[in-house]
Amino acid sequence: MTARSSPEEPVLRVRNLRVAFPAPGGAVHPVDGVSFDLHRGRTLALVGESGCGKSLTSLSLLRLLPPPGRIEPGSEIRLDGVDVLALEGEALRAIRGRRIGMIFQDPMTSLNPVFRVGDQIAEGILAHFKIPKREARERAIALLREVGFPDPARRADAFPHQLSGGMRQRVMIAIALAAEPDILVADEPTTALDVTVQAQILEVLDRLRASRGMAVLLITHDLGIVAGRADRVAVMYAGQIVEEAPTAELFARPSHPYTQGLFASIPRLDGPVRRLNPIPGTVPSPHAWPSGCRFRPRCPRAFEKSVLEPPLFTVGPDHRMRCWLGEHAGEQ
Amino acid sequence: MVSAEPVLRVVELVKHYAAGGLLGRRQPPVRAVDGVSFEIGPGETLGLVGESGCGKSTVGRTVIRLQEPTAGKAFFEGTDLFALDRRSLRRLRRRMQIIFQDPYSSLNPRMRIGDAVAEGIEIHRLASRAETRRRVALLLEEVGLDPAYAGRYPHEFSGGQRQRVGIARALAVEPSFIVCDEPVSALDVSVQAQVLNLLTELQRRRGLSYLFIAHDLAVVRQVAHRVAVMYLGRIVEEGPTEALLASPSHPYTVALLSAAPEPDPAGRKRRIVLPGDPPSPAAPPPGCPFHPRCFHPAKSDRCRTELPLLRPVGATRAACHYAETTPRTLAAG
């Protein structure tokens, strides 16, 4: 295990991240003041439904926002202390892939269909390391073995269409790992995959996190895959983090009404079958964030103070939530 | 479980696709569905679960003759569905409807949703113009949409709302049976719950039967009275939902349950992770279709050569030579 700095020091520090998109009535902010840390060897899960801003958050880390999106001044992203938002050109390219790697939801659209997968991995290696082609090929085969292919030398010669969805996703992971990043951002890596394959991929990611001491940011809408696979969970709603806690703590004591609503609406395999309790209404659009607490229109526990925007309050060990109901929690 | 005449009785359904061969080379056919039988009673839901390539969507489309079968029979309300001529089939079509997975592509973007819902009523000439408008309004309300939205176009709605439109459209012709082909897979969790509750409520109120196709066992559990698990074109286990989930007898069912995401951090500590991928129906292995990935300690040569048939094991029926001793978890060590 290679620990390159003390586990207490975050390898990535995000503070007050705000993303703006121009709109007729004035800019909208689909990511609106997000803060979190990533630590080596640990997984943070960023959980939320469509439109909460989680994907834009992850793209911001690599400065890959689709135009005309912009990261607003006042946002801070520090990689081992270095201000990522101040980097340009060569310096920025040096961190993309090499320090922060990323894998996406649909591996078929990320792989070049006319090149063999081994060559695509080798290409990734050569982009970051000046080594002879033969050595790049050897490293590519080693990576294929590391992501779980039993016959990596043979697989290296396959074209993407010859591989199943799960295999292609493993190739994507191998390409991301080729650059030996300190941080891996996985944006819905298993959503398009079958459930048994999903289990394999998540296991590969977890094993690599441990063996390489990587920090992993796992972005998903599925609370179920987070349990047992992330150290910490942050729940996003309407561009903000509304609750964050160590995983076991969040599952044992979900405190924000939105988080509680999510749990109540998820079908379960354990316990008796019960009628699902969906959250009434729908997720708001960034064009119309509700004033005050953004969950207020759908919240069964909204009260007078909800018309004001709540800050994060501490409600348990390393457990914070953005809700006025938590204001006096620490005083109990 | 089935007392009166079943709404749908499927017997040895087979659907093969001819595999294209380059330069006239003959390939063996893709055996998408390879001998599937089941019954669904009035007011009952059969859940059909499985992963990519198992044939569940093909079953759904074939039992209502959206596709022609290769072999087998389907009796809908007692009538031999595959023997009907086009005209009689058209009349019967009213009684069997389908809801699709993708709420974005299943609605005509150029059609106002009120017209989409009304279309079936008009085609089957079930009501006058004025009466149709009234029925459309009632249907929209029944699925939880404001009737005033009838004049809007699909792009003005969210995924969950479009799915409700699809349900209203299916209900418009007063079917007794609806194939639900992954109706909530593309929806967010909170919307998914709303739509599942709606489907359950509609079943209760209208006595509908559903064939509910899904890959998510937890979702299926919410709506299905019985479940059939498919693998490579065949049913490998089937039975009452709670019994199948509590005491599965087929190794694949055990693996599916183990892999299912479960929001419990204590979790099942030792997940069974199947090697390899779901196989392609273009090249099924000989013997038991599951044997290459099977973790059963009793797996033997018999599994490689002899196809196991569905037989009663405990409270379910399973197609496994060693179903009585299927382990539920990984062995220690």
A-interface mutation test, from B54, B188, B198, B223, most A Cβ less than 10 A away? B188
- Listed by number, the residues of chain B in 101-160 with a beta carbon closer than 8 Å to a beta carbon of chain A are 158-160
Q: Which amino acid is at A253?
A: R
Range of the domain at B298: 8-95+175-325
Tell me the chain A residues in contact with residue B277 when contact means C-beta distances shorter than 8 Å.
164-167, 194, 197
Q: What is the rounded average pLDDT of the residues B88-109?
A: 89
Q: Which amino acid is at B84?
A: L
Tell me the chain B residues in contact with residue A263 when contact means C-beta distances shorter than 8 Å.
263
B31/chain A closest Cα distance in angstroms: 18
* pLDDT at A195 (0 to 100): 82
Tell me the chain B residues in contact with residue A194 when contact means C-beta distances shorter than 8 Å.
51-52, 215, 277-278
- Residues A57 and A74: their CA atoms lie apart, in Å, by 15
* pLDDT at B249 (0 to 100): 95
* A134 has a pLDDT exceeding 80: yes
Contact A266 B218 (CB under 8 A): yes
Q: Give the residue on A whose Cα is nearest the Cα of B220.
A: A267
Q: What is the rounded average pLDDT of the residues A48-55?
A: 91
**Is B321 buried (19+), middle (13-18) or exposed (0-12) by CB count in 10 A?**
buried
Strongest mean pLDDT among A96-105, B98-107, B245-254: B245-254
A-interface mutation test, from B189, B194, B277, B295, most A Cβ less than 10 A away? B189
- Residues A325 and A331: their CA atoms lie apart, in Å, by 12
Angle formed at CA B112 by CA B107 and CA B118, multiple of 5 degrees: 85
A23/chain B closest Cα distance in angstroms: 18
* A223 has a pLDDT exceeding 70: yes
Q: Cα dihedral angle (A289, A293, A299, A301), rounded to 10 degrees?
A: -170
Q: Give the residue on A whose Cα is nearest the Cα of B270.
A: A228
Contact B193 A273 (CB under 8 A): no
Per-chain mean pLDDT for chain B? 89
* B119 within a domain of the structure (yes/no): no
* A115 within a domain of the structure (yes/no): no
A76/chain B closest Cα distance in angstroms: 30
Contact B1, B240 (CB under 8 A): yes
Lowest-confidence segment of A3-12, B11-20, B257-266, B313-322 by average pLDDT: A3-12
* A1 within a domain of the structure (yes/no): no
CATH, residue B27 = 3.40.50.300
ipTM surpasses cut 0.85? no
* A44 within a domain of the structure (yes/no): yes
CATH, residue A261 = 3.40.50.300
* A7 within a domain of the structure (yes/no): no
Q: Which of B197, B219, B263 faces A278 most closely, judged by CB atoms?
A: B197
CA–chain centroid gap for A108, Å, is: 20
Lowest-confidence segment of A117-121, B16-20, B245-249 by average pLDDT: B16-20
- Residues B180 and B177: their CA atoms lie apart, in Å, by 10
Q: Give the residue on B whose Cα is nearest the Cα of A168.
A: B277
Residues B281-324: tens digit of each pLDDT: 777 788 999 998 899 999 999 999 999 999 999 999 999 999 99
- Residues A232 and A210: their CA atoms lie apart, in Å, by 15
Contact B52 A262 (CB under 8 A): no
Range of the domain at A67: 12-99+181-331
Tell me the chain B residues in contact with residue A268 when contact means C-beta distances shorter than 8 Å.
218, 221, 262-263
Residues A69-78: tens digit of each pLDDT: 999 999 999 9
- Residues B197 and B195: their CA atoms lie apart, in Å, by 5
* B332 within a domain of the structure (yes/no): no
* A57 within a domain of the structure (yes/no): yes
The DSSP call for residue A96 is B
Q: What is the rounded average pLDDT of the residues B9-19?
A: 91
* A261 within a domain of the structure (yes/no): yes
Q: Is B45 on the interface with A (CB under 8 A)?
A: no
Angle formed at CA A283 by CA A282 and CA A287, multiple of 5 degrees: 120
Q: Is B246 on the interface with A (CB under 8 A)?
A: no
Partners of B23 in the β-ladder: none
* pLDDT level of residue A191 (50, 70, 90 thresholds): confident
Contact A278 B190 (CB under 8 A): yes
Contact B311, B324 (CB under 8 A): no
Q: Give the residue on A whose Cα is nearest the Cα of B255.
A: A196
Contact A179, A214 (CB under 8 A): no
* pLDDT level of residue A331 (50, 70, 90 thresholds): low
Tell me the chain B residues in contact with residue A49 when contact means C-beta distances shorter than 8 Å.
188-190
Q: Which of A49, A197, A283 faces B277 most closely, judged by CB atoms?
A: A197
* pLDDT at B25 (0 to 100): 60
* B115 within a domain of the structure (yes/no): no
What is the sign of the dihedral through the CA atoms of A102, A108, A109 and A113?
A: positive
Task: State the residue for tokens 């073995």.
Answer: A145
* pLDDT at A332 (0 to 100): 46
Q: Is B188 on the interface with A (CB under 8 A)?
A: yes
Residues B19-74: tens digit of each pLDDT: 765 555 667 788 899 999 999 999 999 999 998 778 999 999 999 999 999 999 99
The DSSP call for residue A162 is G
Torsions phi, psi for A15 (to 5 deg) = -130, 125
* pLDDT level of residue A199 (50, 70, 90 thresholds): confident
* pLDDT at B266 (0 to 100): 64
Residues B163-201: tens digit of each pLDDT: 999 999 999 999 999 999 999 887 888 888 999 999 999
Residues A261-313: tens digit of each pLDDT: 999 988 988 888 888 988 988 889 899 899 999 999 999 999 999 999 999 99
* A305 within a domain of the structure (yes/no): yes
Domain count of the fold of chain A: 1
Q: Is B183 on the interface with A (CB under 8 A)?
A: no
Residues B194-206: tens digit of each pLDDT: 999 999 999 999 9
Domain count of the fold of chain B: 1
Q: Is B68 on the interface with A (CB under 8 A)?
A: no
* pLDDT at B195 (0 to 100): 92
* A243 within a domain of the structure (yes/no): yes
Partners of B210 in the β-ladder: B45, B178
